[in-house]
Amino acid sequence: MKIGLFYGSTTCYTEMAAEKIQQYFADESKNKTKLIVELFNIKETPLSKIDDFDLVIMGISTWDYGQIQEDWEGHWDDIATLDLSGKIIALYGMGDQIGYTEWFQDALGMLHEQVIAQDGFVIGFWPNQGYEFEASKALTEDNSQFVGLALDEDNQYEQSDKRIALWCQQIQEEIAEIIESE
């Protein structure tokens, strides 16, 4: 199975997280499901390329006061043209919980809304414990989880590698459950 990982990155942090996710799945000792991750920078790749994959990871960062990253902004309307029905989608986001505490991971939440509107099946929800923020559009209805992996390279850089590894393991387990149930 192949996974397409689509990201936009202004400061390279979202790209570096994408590369770490790819490396995790490339490590045969960790990758029990034999998944291969292909990376795509949406600045150079149209979102229509998502059609080539059954499993898709999307990475986005939140800018300033809850704004989406510029590459995603340039393709935002394209999301509405995608047919994501039957696709398994996992999301991750970058944000600053201290500097922008009222908008932490908002772009992740907005991307989740777009994916759901196109009938994507989202996996990889992430606990919101261990973060300090006032508000986020990326929380589930009951506010217990983020709708994807939440990373903060500004304030919790030292936790990112562990969070990525745990999330990738979680993704593998959720995919295995889906495959098993089919």
The tokens for 58 are 């999307």
* Domain membership of residue 156 as a residue range: 2-181
* Pairing verdict, β 126-127 and 145-146: antiparallel
The tokens for 100 are 């922008």
How would you class 165 by CB atoms within 10 Å of its CB: exposed for 0-12, middle for 13-18, buried for 19 or more?
A: middle
Q: CATH number, domain at 25?
A: 3.40.50.360
The count of domains in the chain is 1
Please enumerate in sequence order all residues whose Cβ is within 8 A of that of 87, keeping only pairs 6 or more positions apart, or say none. 50, 53, 54, 55, 56, 120, 121
Q: Say what the pLDDT of residue 147 is.
A: 98
How would you class 88 by CB atoms within 10 Å of its CB: exposed for 0-12, middle for 13-18, buried for 19 or more?
A: buried
In whole angstroms, give the CA distance from residue 42 to residue 8.
Answer: 6
Nearest Cα to Cα of residue 72 among 97, 90, 47: 47
Please tell me what DSSP assigns to residue 127: E
Mean pLDDT split into 10-residue runs, the chain, 182 residues: 93 96 85 82 97 96 94 95 95 97 97 97 97 97 96 97 97 91 81
In whole angstroms, give the CA distance from residue 114 to residue 110.
Answer: 6
In whole angstroms, give the CA distance from residue 155 to residue 130.
Answer: 12
